[in-house]
Every structure is written in structure tokens, then in C-alpha cells.
């Protein structure tokens, strides 16, 4: 069962200074009232102002080479930064996707020109990306996508549509997975490519899809003869599927898969301590134990990824356990306090409960559903 063993990470002492620097930064932002903690802030909390400040601090693209605006820090240091921001419930959604996966994708597969063009802007917290994978008839079965690009003089003509695209109405670009040759029933993953779509280009229409709360978070994005110049192809034509898959381990095992409802846990703990509620804290100790375990799993995978060890099985496993954990937080809270969740309550606790409850269905869907993840894990274990 070697594939299921995750190493212990002892964070280097030096990271403590970095951690305290971030805590001081967040404290200042909280005190000045420029941000307020919220659940699911990495997907719902869009604040270009904050993203720019974080960029100025050097905390976006911080592992990238200096020539592209990076700071050449380790991925463990990046882990520290991201988990501190998430634990504080800071609105980091604007730059999150670009920092987590679009930037690394360019680094790995992009041309020099693309790297010089996109990465410094991303690192400054000024350039935002969205993920163009799902389509109306391709959800879990992503290989069923129909959006296609046809070769024309100097580039490609893109036609089709994407759906559920988080933040497309706010982002500048979308990395779009599309077909560049017709579907081959014997090799479903062949013939796909990744194109950078400028979301302000002619032929792109973005239509909001409102969440059940009425909020505008994700979108349907239509492409009608959108011209994509050749220099906006990422990596190799036809290699889109493989390229996209390499980023999945990063996408699935990060701290955002366990901390989406941490602000609620923090507030719940505050409340129970204030009420000297021993019974309540007994319950919370179980939650804290789970979180401690999950964090050690997620940290361990960050280390494996840094060492280049393939980890998609355990990354899927951590996302499954982590999102189940996030999802339960509101359920646990409501039975421990007399508060009633409400989005516009004056009480911090009630507000966070409402956010955690209302966002909870999404946790176990986005980035691969529970059922799909468990399928990956089970098949991986049987083969291991």
C-alpha cells in the first residue's frame, strides 16, 4: 500500500517568519475593514484590490523563476501563504486559479513569449484566469467535449460553449480545452488542445448562471468564430488532455480542499470558549483532529509534488476526504449553538453558518465529484 503512504512534513523554522508576515498583513487588512472573513473565499471572494496587494508582497507565483516575476520560493512556502490566506477567509478568488494552475501550466508547456507576457502580470495580481472544461454534455465525462477549433490562416477559429465557468465574467482569460481534430472512438483522449481565450475578444459571449442563492458566480460562455492566434495555443496541438491532467494533482490536494469552511470552525470555537461550553468543545475536538490529519495529508502531498512524485491517487483521496469535511462543518455547528444561519445576520457566526450551508453542495462537485474521485482511488488501489 505504498501508494497510500504520505510523508511527514516538518515545516522548516524559516517558514514561521513568513507565516507571521502574512498574519500581520491580514490583521492590518481586517482592522482597516478592507476585508472580512468569509467561507469559500477562494472561489467566491473576488477582490482585485486585495489580489494586487498580495501580488506586491510577492505572494503570487512565488515559486516561479524571477525572470517571470516569481520569487523562487519553495512550494512548501507557497503552501504556508495559501493556507494562511484561506484560514483567514480572505477574498483571494481573483488570482487563485491563475496562481494555482494557469501560471504553472504556462511554465510547463508555454512558449517563452507566453511566459514573459502572462506570468509577470499574474504575479502582480492583475491578470485573472478561468477554467474552461465543462460543457453542457460533458461534466464528469470530460472527454465528451464538443467545442472545437478549426485551423485557419495564422490561428484557429473556435466554436462551441463552456458551462459552469467560475468567474468568467471577471477574469481576463480562459484556458479552454477543445477539440482540434474529430473525436476518435478508439482513443477518446486524443485530438484535444488547450487554447488561451481572451474573454474580451469578438465572438465571446458570457451569460450568467445564478447559483441557488441568486449570486452570480459561474457562467455559460459561448464562442462564435472566435479567432485564436497561433501564439495562444498552450503546448502541443493534440496534447491538451495530458497537459490538463498534470495539473489535477495540484488542483485536488491543496489547502483549499480542506479549509473552505475554516472561518466557521474558528468562529464556532470562539463562541464555545466564550460560553465555557465543554460539551461543545468535545465535539469540536473531533473536528480539529480531522482537520489536523487532513492538513498533514495535504502538506505531505505538496512535498511529494515538489519532488516530482506522481500523486494523483492520494490527491483525489484527499480531495474526497477534505470536501466531505468542509461540507459537514455547517451541520456540526448548527447542533452545537443556538444560532440560526442567516446571510444578513449581524452575528458573525450566523453569517458564516449561512455561507457554509449554502455553498456546501458545490464542495463535493467542483474539480471532480465524490463518485468520480472514489472511482479513481479504488481503481488505483486495485492496481497498486
Partner 1 sequence: MSEMQEMIMESTEKILKEYSKKEIVNEAENGIWAKELWDNLEAYGMLKVAVPEELMGNGGDQYDAFSILYLIGKYSAPIPLAENYIVNKLLMDLGESVQDEFITISATEHKNLFQIREKDDGWIVSGKAKYVPWARFAQKILVLGETEEDTKLALLPLDNAKIKEGKNLAGEARDEVFFDNVYVEEIKTKSVDIEEQVEKILYTGGLTRSVMMVGALENLLALTKEHISERSQFGRPLYRFQAVQQHMAQLAGEFAATNVAVKNAISSYEKNPVSKEIAFAKLRVNEAIEKVNPIAHQILAAIGFTFEHTLHHSTRRLWSWREEFGKESDWEQIIAKDLMNLNQNELWSLITNVENSSQKVDVK
Ligand X SMILES: Cc1cc2nc3c(=O)[nH]c(=O)nc-3n(C[C@H](O)[C@H](O)[C@H](O)COP(=O)(O)OP(=O)(O)OC[C@H]3O[C@@H](n4cnc5c(N)ncnc54)[C@H](O)[C@@H]3O)c2cc1C
Binding partner selected for residue 369 from partner 1, ligand X, none, CB under the kind-specific 5 to 8 Å limit: ligand X
Asked whether position 371 contacts ligand X by CB under 6 A, the answer is: yes
Q: How many residues bind ligand X (CB under 6 A)?
A: 18
Asked whether position 366 contacts ligand X by CB under 6 A, the answer is: yes
256 close to 78: Cβ distance less than 8 angstroms: no
Q: How many residues bind partner 1 (CB under 8 A)?
A: 61
Asked whether position 174 contacts partner 1 by CB under 8 A, the answer is: no
Burial of 380 (0-12, 13-18, 19+ CB in 10 A): middle
Strand partners, 131: 175
Binding partner selected for residue 134 from ligand X, partner 1, none, CB under the kind-specific 5 to 8 Å limit: ligand X
Compare residues 90 and 168 and give the one whose CB is closer to ligand X: 168
Asked whether position 372 contacts ligand X by CB under 6 A, the answer is: yes
Work out the widest C-alpha separation in the chain, in whole angstroms.
71
Asked whether position 309 contacts partner 1 by CB under 8 A, the answer is: no
61 close to 70: Cβ distance less than 8 angstroms: yes
Is residue 181 classed as helix, strand or coil in its secondary structure?
coil
Question: What is the distance between the alpha carbons of residues 47 and 53, in angstroms, rounded to a whole number?
Answer: 10
Question: What is the distance between the alpha carbons of residues 238 and 230, in angstroms, rounded to a whole number?
Answer: 14
Q: Which residue is nearest to ligand X (CB)?
A: 139
Binding partner selected for residue 228 from ligand X, partner 1, none, CB under the kind-specific 5 to 8 Å limit: none
Asked whether position 164 contacts ligand X by CB under 6 A, the answer is: yes
Binding partner selected for residue 6 from ligand X, partner 1, none, CB under the kind-specific 5 to 8 Å limit: partner 1
Minimal CA–CA distance to 78: which of 47, 50, 110, 101?
A: 101
135 close to 126: Cβ distance less than 8 angstroms: no
Question: What is the distance between the alpha carbons of residues 256 and 238, in angstroms, rounded to a whole number?
Answer: 31
Contact pick of 149, 284, 337, 349 for partner 1 (by CB under 8 A)? 284
Stretch that binds ligand X, among 47-55, 69-77, 152-160, 367-375 (CB under 6 A): 367-375
Question: What is the distance between the alpha carbons of residues 349 and 51, in angstroms, rounded to a whole number?
Answer: 26
Question: What is the distance between the alpha carbons of residues 361 and 364, in angstroms, rounded to a whole number?
Answer: 6
Q: How far is the CB of 35 from ligand X (least distance, A)?
A: 21
Asked whether position 66 contacts partner 1 by CB under 8 A, the answer is: no
Cell numbers that stand for 255 in this block: 489547502
Give the start-end residues of each E strand in the chain. Answer: 129-132, 148-152, 155-166, 173-179, 192-198, 204-210, 216-229, 233-234
Contact pick of 225, 282, 310, 361 for partner 1 (by CB under 8 A)? 282
Compare residues 44 and 294 and give the one whose CB is closer to ligand X: 44
Compare residues 191 and 362 and give the one whose CB is closer to ligand X: 362
Q: How far is the CB of 58 from ligand X (least distance, A)?
A: 27
Compare residues 67 and 141 and give the one whose CB is closer to partner 1: 141
Question: What is the distance between the alpha carbons of residues 248 and 366, in angstroms, rounded to a whole number?
Answer: 12
Give the start-end residues of each E strand in 121-257. Answer: 129-132, 148-152, 155-166, 173-179, 192-198, 204-210, 216-229, 233-234
Binding letters toward ligand X, positions 121-140, x by CB under 6 A:
---------xxxxx----xx
Q: How far is the CB of 2 from ligand X (least distance, A)?
A: 26
Question: What is the distance between the alpha carbons of residues 289 and 285, in angstroms, rounded to a whole number?
Answer: 6
Sites for partner 1 among residues 4-33 (CB under 8 A) = 4-8, 10-11, 16, 19-21, 23-28
Residues forming contacts to partner 1 in the complex (CB under 8 A) are 1, 4-8, 10-11, 16, 19-21, 23-28, 83, 87, 262, 265-266, 269-270, 272-274, 276, 278, 281-286, 288-297, 300, 314, 317-318, 320-321, 371, 373-375, 377-379, 381-382
Q: Which residues of this protein are in contact with ligand X, per CB under 6 A?
A: 130-134, 139-140, 164-166, 218, 362, 365-366, 369, 371-372, 375
Amino acid at each position: 500500500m505504498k501508494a497510500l503512504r504520505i510523508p511527514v512534513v516538518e515545516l522548516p523554522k524559516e517558514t514561521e517568519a513568513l507565516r507571521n508576515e502574512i498574519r500581520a498583513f491580514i490583521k492590518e487588512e481586517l482592522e482597516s475593514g478592507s476585508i472580512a472573513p468569509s467561507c469559500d473565499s477562494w472561489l467566491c471572494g473576488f477582490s482585485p484590490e486585495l489580489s494586487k496587494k498580495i501580488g506586491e508582497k510577492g505572494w503570487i507565483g512565488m515559486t516561479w523563476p524571477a525572470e517571470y516575476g516569481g520569487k523562487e520560493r519553495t512550494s512548501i512556502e507557497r503552501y504556508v501563504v495559501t493556507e494562511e490566506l484561506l484560514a483567514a477567509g480572505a477574498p483571494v478568488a481573483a488570482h487563485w486559479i491563475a496562481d494555482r494552475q494557469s501560471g504553472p501550466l504556462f511554465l510547463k508547456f508555454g512558449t517563452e513569449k507566453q511566459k514573459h507576457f502572462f506570468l509577470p502580470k499574474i504575479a502582480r495580481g492583475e491578470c485573472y484566469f478561468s477554467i474552461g472544461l465543462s460543457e453542457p454534455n460533458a461534466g464528469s465525462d470530460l472527454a465528451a467535449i464538443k467545442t472545437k477549433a478549426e485551423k485557419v490562416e495564422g490561428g484557429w477559429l473556435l466554436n462551441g460553449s463552456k458551462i459552469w465557468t467560475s468567474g468568467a465574467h471577471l477574469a481576463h482569460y480562459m484556458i479552454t480545452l477543445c477539440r482540434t481534430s474529430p473525436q476518435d472512438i478508439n482513443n477518446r483522449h486524443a485530438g484535444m488542445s488547450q487554447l488561451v481565450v481572451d474573454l474580451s475578444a469578438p465572438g465571446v459571449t458570457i451569460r450568467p448562471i445564478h447559483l441557488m442563492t441568486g449570486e452570480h458566480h459561474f457562467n455559460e460562455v459561448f464562442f462564435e468564430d472566435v479567432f485564436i492566434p497561433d501564439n495562444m495555443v498552450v503546448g502541443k496541438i493534440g496534447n491538451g488532455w495530458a497537459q490538463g491532467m498534470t495539473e489535477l494533482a495540484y488542483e485536488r490536494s491543496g489547502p483549499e480542499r480542506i479549509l473552505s469552511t475554516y472561518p466557521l470552525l474558528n468562529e464556532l470555537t470562539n463562541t464555545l470558549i466564550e460560553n465555557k461550553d465543554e460539551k461543545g468543545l468535545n465535539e469540536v475536538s473531533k473536528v480539529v483532529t480531522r482537520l489536523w490529519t487532513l492538513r498533514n495529508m495535504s502538506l505531505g502531498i505538496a512535498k511529494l509534488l515538489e519532488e516530482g512524485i506522481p500523486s494523483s491517487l492520494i490527491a483525489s483521496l484527499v480531495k474526497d476526504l477534505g470536501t466531505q469535511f468542509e461540507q459537514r462543518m455547517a451541520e456540526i455547528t448548527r447542533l452545537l449553538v443556538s444560532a440560526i444561519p442567516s446571510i444578513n445576520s449581524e452575528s458573525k457566526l450566523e453569517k458564516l453558518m449561512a455561507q457554509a450551508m449554502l455553498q456546501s453542495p458545490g464542495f463535493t462537485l467542483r474539480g471532480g465529484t465524490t463518485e468520480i474521485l472514489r472511482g479513481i482511488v479504488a481503481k488505483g488501489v486495485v492496481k497498486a
